[in-house]
Chains A and B, each alone.
Chain A
Amino acid sequence: MWKFIVRRLVITFPQLILLSVLIFLLAQAMPGDALTGLVDPNIDPETIEEQREKLGLNKPWYEKYIDWVGGVVQGDFGQSFRYKMPVTDLIEERIVNTFWLSVTALIFTYIIAVPLGMISGRYNDTILDSSIAGYTYIGFATPLFIFALVLLWIFGFHFQWFPTGGSVAPGLEPGTLEYVMSRIQHLILPALSIAIIQTVSTVQYLRSEIVDTKQKDFVITARAKGASESRVYNRHILRNSLLPIAAFFGYEITMLITGTIFVEQIFSFPGMGQLFIESVLQRDFSVVNAVVLLFGAAAILGALLSDIILSMVDPRIRIK
């Protein structure tokens, strides 16, 4: 078990390195550099060239890459051209916001998806199953931002149960209960909009997996032992059906990232997604690099996490 986790961790490093190289090369391929457009056009081109030399912009790409990675490892993503502040400081608060948004969205997703999938799979081809399938089709076909806007309009604007934007009400002291409650309240709507869409695939995966598993021989063995239907489902079928859901988990995290980009924009939630769009629009490439790198790393870690979960659930996967 531990051996498996260590081995899996070791594989993660080359993935991360490859990711960083790719992102760096993409950034290099983009036209312009830190000085383009920032410098007064009346300045002598030779002086600019001098500056380039001083800043190390004329070095070959691999030397620049090593400079960059060396900084990243120490938590230094460079300066934001637009905000004139370290990228790390810029990201710091937003990454916390996005992290909690993603975690809440994930929790909502599974709270909704697992029971629906179980009902759908156990009572397949009944009216109950069909109505759940109907919901998943609608969810599958509807773009995320429509759901988000509808939720925003109904619960934020019409009923005013939830705030329509931001991550916390202004004027609250961090650390107090009100502050935490306010944060949670700000999280619920955006997280729910992501979850409602994310749920869809999980429900369908779980359903088809349960329909599959319940026809397997070991289910008959369990029944022949005298296990009640609920025990058969909870002990034998469910666990075997959760395997693909666990395998899907890493992909789910990648989906979350794209989800947060939309949702943060709609709910003007100060997170990574919003920062990403802003910095792309403003050509703030050191920020774009950092955000893309972190998104990529999150996807890789998500895959790692799902493999570890999978190995805990399924003994056949553990490498001895």
Chain B
Amino acid sequence: MNRKLLEVKNLKTSFYINDGYYAAVDDVTLTVNENEILGIVGESGSGKSALAFSVMGLHTRAKMEGNIFFNGKDIVNVSKADLNKMRGNEMAMIFQDPLTALNPLMEIGAQISETFILHRPNMTKKIRKDRVIELLKMVGIPRPEYVYSQFPHELSGGMRQRVIIAIAIANQPKLLIADEPTTALDVTIQAQILDLIRELKETIESGVILITHDLGVVAEMADRVAVMYAGQIVEIANVYTLFKRPLHPYTRSLLHSMPTGGQDKLHVINGIVPSLKHLPRKGCRFAHRIPWMGAETHEENPILHEVEPGHYVRCTCYKNFSFQEDESKEA
């Protein structure tokens, strides 16, 4: 079961902004095993989606360094044609916004069929249609024969997300990347979609990368969790460990900011994620948001420390981190 499916090693994805390349994903190393859900959490702008797009090779104008081993094969600098053979076939992606991720001028059936046309060219039209209808049924769409010839604008957001999931799982990919699959949906639909993803993961036994900024979703779904901040992984651990013994100040701040009931005021992390151009490239990237921690507590070049088997934390500042007594400020 614990076979490595995806291995990202020292991945650095940079974008050209005005005067030079800036890394949105900086030195990320992680693995995804078969039949496992790896959750990736972080604020907006922490590089989660950029990481997912890197794995799928979907960046059109990015510089990628490092390695991404998929089934043992490095896919960072693989040819476009080879990449196209894998995308939609061995790895697939579920997108954030179901309202815009479907082609408005194509019938639902045609959009799902396309994955078969691309990867199963020998499939007959009849079988293709049967398979599509089967898929629609599988993702829980009522009246699949009818929906087959409908257009995206005739479906609700939740239904469209199901269609996107159907497209993703059509060829039973080994790796499924879900990029905030529930962000654009309302809460009741969220639960259904998450259940569906988990169910499908069991059926096709694929590895899943679940990207989200919702810690509740991670707690419920993921086997392991990677916390990203400013393009780097700051902590990675088994889901139980992470929620029980979070170490990195950022992870702890995130968990601390979750509403638990019974508290008067929510914890707020100071400041915002710096923009790509203004990221501190040296030292602990989270340092400026916990200014009460002295510079001596941070590492000069923070690396991931293995504090217990499978539990990694970046920077030494976690050792004596404590939340600031902010009552004085509020009074």
Contact = CB atoms under 8 A, between A and B. Distances in A.
Contacts of B115: 225-226
Interface in B72-110: 80-81, 84-89, 92-93, 95, 97, 100-106
B153 A316 contact: yes
A225 B101 CA distance: 12
A136 to B, nearest CB: 25
A278 interface: no
B167 interface: yes
B103 A240 contact: yes
Given A221-B95, A315-B151, A316-B151, A226 B118 contact: yes
B205 interface: no
Interface stretch (A58-66, A192-200, A212-220): A212-220
A216 B102 CA distance: 10
B143 to A, nearest CB: 17
Contact of A223 (B58, B97, B168): B58
Interface string B100-136: 1111111000000011001100000000000000000
A226 B85 contact: yes
Interface string A11-51: 00000000000000000000000000000000000000000
Interface residues of A, number: 22
A261 interface: no
Contacts of A231: 118
A298 interface: no
Contacts of A222: 103, 114
A236 interface: yes
A218 B95 CA distance: 10
Nearest to B119: A226
A239 interface: yes
Interface string B155-172: 000000000100110000
A227 interface: yes
B56 interface: yes
Contacts of A314: 104-105
Interface string A234-267: 0110011000000000000000000000000000
A314 B85 CA distance: 30
A228 B104 contact: no
Contacts of B153: 315-316
A56 B325 CA distance: 99
Interface residues of B, number: 30
Contacts of A226: 84-89, 115, 118-119
Given A236-B103, A314-B105, A315-B105, A224 B84 contact: no
Interface in A299-316: 313-316
Nearest to A225: B88
A92 interface: no
Given A224-B58, A316-B151, A316-B153, A218 B114 contact: no
Contact of A218 (B89, B93, B102): B102
A217 B178 CA distance: 15
B228 to A, nearest CB: 21
A221 B101 contact: yes
B58 A217 contact: no
A227 B84 contact: yes
Given A217-B97, A229-B80, A316-B153, A224 B92 contact: yes
Q: Please give me the 10 A-B residue pairs with the lowest Cβ-Cβ distance, nearest first.
A: A226-B88, A225-B88, A217-B100, A226-B87, A218-B103, A315-B151, A217-B101, A226-B84, A224-B93, A221-B101
23 contacts: A217-B97, A217-B101, A218-B101, A218-B103, A220-B58, A220-B95, A222-B114, A223-B87, A224-B87, A224-B168, A225-B87, A225-B115, A226-B86, A226-B87, A226-B118, A227-B88, A227-B114, A229-B80, A231-B118, A236-B106, A239-B105, A240-B105, A315-B153
Interface of B: 56, 58, 80-81, 84-89, 92-93, 95, 97, 100-106, 114-115, 118-119, 151, 153, 164, 167-168
